[in-house]
Amino acid sequence: MRLDPFLTQRLVKSLLWCLTGLTLFFLIFIIAFISVKGLPQVSFNFLFHDIEDMGRAGGIFPTIVSTIYLTMVALLIASPLGVGTAIYLTEYTREGWITKLIRFGAECLAGVPSIILGLFGFVLFVIKLNFGWSMLSGGLSLAIMVLPTIIRTSEEALKTVPQEYQDVCFSLGLSKWHTITRVVLPCALPGIMTGIVLSIGRAIGETAVVLFTAGASLRTPTSRFDSGRSMAVHFYILAREGLSMPNAYGTAAILIISILLINITAYTIMQRFLQKYS
C-alpha cells in the first residue's frame, strides 16, 4: 500500500515536532521543577552567608566560591592545553598516524567515567604530588575531564577557517605564527569559545571528580591548597545525607541558573563578535 505523499509529509512532520517538543519539555520541566522547589530558599543571606550546621542552616557562599575557583583553575589549565593541541593537530602536522593516535587518545579520555577520573586525580594529585584535597587538585582533575571537549571543538572551529585565508597570509610574507595568531585564531574564536563555554558548564556541574580531589570542606577556600566543596558536591551531600532538602534544592537552583546564564551570556557575546567580523 502506498501512502499519500502529502499525508506522509504531515505525519513525519508532526512526529518530528513531537520529538523536539518532548526534548524541550524535559529541559523546561527540570528547570521549572528545580526553580519551584529551590528558588523560595534563595535570598541574599543564602547566597552570601557561610554554611552553618553542616548545611542545615546558613548560606552557600563557600560553595559558590569553591565552584568558581575550581572552574577557573580547570579552564586556565585546559584552555591553553586544548587550544594548543588543536592548533598543532590542524596547522602543524599533516594527517598521519600520529594525529590519529592523538585524536584517538583524546576520544578515549572523553570516554573515561568521571568517577575513575576522580580516583585518578586523587591518586596522582592528592596523594602522589601531595597537593592534598585542594582547589589545585580539583582544578587539575577537572581540566583533564574537559580537555577532550576543548580539543575537539577547537579543532572543528579551526578547520572551518578557509584555507584561502592562510594562502593569502603566506603570499603576503606573513610567518606561520602571525598567520595563525592574527587571522586563523580570530576567525575560529567563536567556535573555540563555544567549546570553552560547554566545558564551563560541565566543570560547574561535575560532582564525582571534585568530591575525590577537592574534598568537602565547609570553609571558603582562600588559597589553591585549601579544600572546599563545590555547589554540586554540597547538593550531593545535603541530599544524600538527608541534611536539608530545601537547601539542597536552593543550591541546585543556583547551579542550574548560573549554567543557563553563562550559556546565554556566551551566546550573546559570540553573536556580537560574529556581527563585527563578518
130/171 with CB nearer another protein: 171
178/224 with CB nearer another protein: 178
How far apart are alpha carbons 42 and 26 in whole angstroms? 23
Q: Closest distance between another protein and the C-beta of residue 27, in Å?
A: 34
Strand pairing partners for 268?
A: none
Q: Closest distance between another protein and the C-beta of residue 167, in Å?
A: 7
223/278 with CB nearer another protein: 278
9/181 with CB nearer another protein: 181
Q: Please state the φ and ψ torsions of residue 69, each to the nearest 5 degrees.
A: -55, -50
Q: Which of residues 42-81 bind another protein (CB under 8 A)?
A: none
Q: For the CA atoms of the chain, what is the radius of gyration? A: 23
Q: Closest distance between another protein and the C-beta of residue 96, in Å?
A: 11
Q: Is 278 in the site for another protein (CB under 8 A)?
A: yes
Check: CB of residue 149 under 8 Å from CB of residue 111: no
From candidates 164, 223, 240, 242, binder to another protein by CB under 8 A? 164
Between 89 and 118, how does the x/- string for binding to another protein read (CB under 8 A)?
-----x------------------------
How far apart are alpha carbons 122 and 274 in whole angstroms? 41
How far apart are alpha carbons 149 and 229 in whole angstroms? 24
CA 83 to chain centre: 15
Q: Is 5 in the site for another protein (CB under 8 A)?
A: no
Q: Please state the φ and ψ torsions of residue 223, each to the nearest 5 degrees.
A: -135, 165
Q: Is 159 in the site for another protein (CB under 8 A)?
A: no
Between 168 and 197, how does the x/- string for binding to another protein read (CB under 8 A)?
x-xxxxxx--x---xx---x----------
Strand pairing partners for 58?
A: 51
How far apart are alpha carbons 55 and 136 in whole angstroms? 24
How far apart are alpha carbons 118 and 116 in whole angstroms? 5
Q: Closest distance between another protein and the C-beta of residue 168, in Å?
A: 5
Cell of 49: 552567608
Q: Is 167 in the site for another protein (CB under 8 A)?
A: yes
183/257 with CB nearer another protein: 183
8/175 with CB nearer another protein: 175
Residues 6+ apart with CB under 8 A from 111: none
The residues binding another protein (CB under 8 A) are 94, 162, 164-165, 167-168, 170-175, 178, 182-183, 187, 277-278
